[in-house]
Structure 1
């Protein structure tokens, strides 16, 4: 009989170290994201609100290239391209060289990501069945914001097992890929084939150079920017170009450079260099320009939340996300040989699923594409996303908080290194 797969089982020590370092950076980025959103909300609801609006709507860029965009649009189309480039690198790294190259381990986060997108979309559609003009926003509550979720997790101060944290990260990465696919397929209003075909030239050259392990920024950056500009001109959302560029980057070292065992490949090198820019600048600046909605006091908040768009978003994030993620996890365990790891309980999975309901960056981006930045419905989207995210965070804290003390004791045991080899005993065969 084959050994059953353990859901959320501990991965390799090398992968755990890499994920821990990555999570620390994402957590810091999440704190900056929250700070940017709070500053925008306070400013947009202060007597100086016109200054905020004027800054967000300031147009810069060359009109001859159709890149005369507002600062808010530059943040959504330009800065988020950096975010999606890093997400593309993460995804390729996980499935080529990470623990998820094993299909048995990959099936859970992929299934959970699909469930976590399908159920919120269905709930949004059901809430808005009698508002056909609102159905265009069906994808808004489908995205998980990993930086925001990890920042909330840090505030909860839970000693959640690394396997669960890795699962949350991987789920969000797959979620990002599905989200960018949805943006490309469903939110491309008009398509110009000439720029799109021309984009294949710099994209191909970029791929050729990185496959030859070229790292020179003065060669790669102009090709990446050209690819982005041509995809933007084609009508496809420009962040799609970032994911395509990331997928061309090799994960493993070439045989001439020592092969896979010779150290990190080019994808990890780029990720290490660009992640601080993504988490520390790109996403917080986008949050600053996207979260600045004028609420108009309690009456304005009530008016926003009575819109079926906002209600559908809140219901999708708070109910749909946990139902989709936890439900997909249960289905995998029910209809396959996979079993929940002995150290975990289903309340842990439920708490994690509630964290997946924290949506911000991509949700706001899809909201802008669906209803337009600065529109009344667009402002209701922002209120719905912020409200749903806040409720999901509070519910996750209520579920995971009581588990904190238990996992603190577990963490103390896992840190033991009785043989003094620098690797915790729990990662070594026969130590459990």
Structure 2
């Protein structure tokens, strides 16, 4: 009997391993490294041929490249899990209390506005900046939390709560930006089907229906309709997540949102995000392209927008909110802790790469993605050093600076 149960136990342990934030960040980093090495190897043409290979039914307007399937299809799973987490935070988590949520919400807003303004000021007048300003507004949850888990085990739990809440709100803002800025064509019929599908999903949730064989095709229909409407299909993922019930009924072990997040997070972290990274991060890098990042206005705007804009925006908005009495810095954290966490906000990898692909084309998109990779690498390393230093301070039991 024990022999028959081993595969199930092994699979369960592997899923638990994939659920950890550190593991997700490591897999994402590995996929990024593979993409960069592959794209810059003698087999680079093979990489690009696979990425650009179209599959899917043309009659349903679903003949997409493998890269687009990863971006529009698999990444919808990531956004579904993010939507589940956001809904849980809004209803029963850190964001359910307005005062408790005020600091990360205001910080997230500042961390989106400042990078956009900096990018616009640097790239003003350049073709494409009217869309490229959105690239540095996003913070990558997987990488940011992975770096935090690896380097900040001695920091108070309030550090993780702040970063998670900020990243969730930031993701919602980035999703809104994608929906508004990158909807080029619009089909009213497809949009109506999408709304009907989402409404039916919400109704089934309200009626406590648990039949997966109803939800799976309904989710696929909603995704296809959102894609057909001309809206970026990942919106379907977050919408379905936000419509999922998060409060457990009496006698119910766990709510549907918790159950789905538990089951799907390993697939998101172990498959969806890494495969997207594999086909999004394969940028051909040369000495000329690196020089162009620092000499071309738009990639430079993206780079400085992430590195400077995120830190200035997050810290500045937080300080203003505390000074005006709109929010309060947690007693266990100091402004130096918040500064280190703000640097993590400059890790814009996943969603920033997605927006770069949507905002620009050809060489301009590749340069912008190179700028995102450089900024994210610098931010990760800098934040890791700062967090390790702050962790040592907290490990010695040094009191946090008083919030003023």
CA contact (8 A) 2:187 2:230 kept: yes
Q: For 2:388, which of 401, 406, 409 is the aligned residue?
A: 401
The alignment partner of 2:128 has SS state of helix
Matched, 1:315 2:310: no
Q: For 2:274, which of 272, 277, 284 is the aligned residue?
A: 284
**Matching residue of 1:356:** 345
Q: For 1:63, which of 58, 61, 65 is the aligned residue?
A: 58
Q: Deviations over 1:12-64 (max 9, x none)?
A: xxxxxxxxx99962221111111101100001001110110011011111111
Matches within 5 A, 1:212-231: 212-231=207-226
**Matching residue of 1:302:** 291
Q: 2 CA distance for matches of 1:132 and 1:48?
A: 32
CA contact (8 A) 2:102 2:326 kept: no
Matched, 1:53 2:42: no
**Matching residue of 1:381:** 368
CA contact (8 A) 2:18 2:24 kept: no
The structural deviation recorded for 1:146 is 1.2
The structural deviation recorded for 1:305 is 3.1
**Unaligned regions of 5+ residues in structure 1, if any?**
1-20, 412-432
Q: 2 CA distance for matches of 1:172 and 1:201?
A: 30
**Matching residue of 1:201:** 196
Q: For 2:265, which of 270, 275, 278 is the aligned residue?
A: 275
**Matching residue of 2:177:** 182
Q: 2 CA distance for matches of 1:163 and 1:200?
A: 38
The alignment partner of 1:279 has SS state of helix
The structural deviation recorded for 1:153 is 2.5
Number of equivalences: 384
The structural deviation recorded for 1:263 is 4.4
**Matching residue of 2:108:** 113
Matches within 5 A, 1:135-154: 135-154=130-149
Q: 2 CA distance for matches of 1:282 and 1:23?
A: 12
Q: 2 CA distance for matches of 1:55 and 1:32?
A: 21
Quickly say closer, same or farther: Cα 1:337–1:76, change in 2 above 3 A: closer
The structural deviation recorded for 1:275 is 0.9
The alignment partner of 2:283 has SS state of coil
CA contact (8 A) 1:26 1:146 kept: no
The structural deviation recorded for 1:266 is 1.2
Q: 2 CA distance for matches of 1:209 and 1:339?
A: 40
Matches within 5 A, 1:81-120: 81-120=76-115
Quickly say closer, same or farther: Cα 1:83–1:299, change in 2 above 3 A: same
Q: 1 CA distance for matches of 2:85 and 2:34?
A: 30
Quickly say closer, same or farther: Cα 1:342–1:109, change in 2 above 3 A: closer
**Matching residue of 1:367:** 356
Q: For 1:346, which of 313, 335, 348 is the aligned residue?
A: 335
Q: 2 CA distance for matches of 1:407 and 1:322?
A: 22
**Matching residue of 1:173:** 168
Q: 2 CA distance for matches of 1:172 and 1:218?
A: 32
Q: 2 CA distance for matches of 1:344 and 1:163?
A: 7
CA contact (8 A) 2:19 2:265 kept: no
CA contact (8 A) 1:128 1:135 kept: no
Quickly say closer, same or farther: Cα 1:99–1:22, change in 2 above 3 A: farther
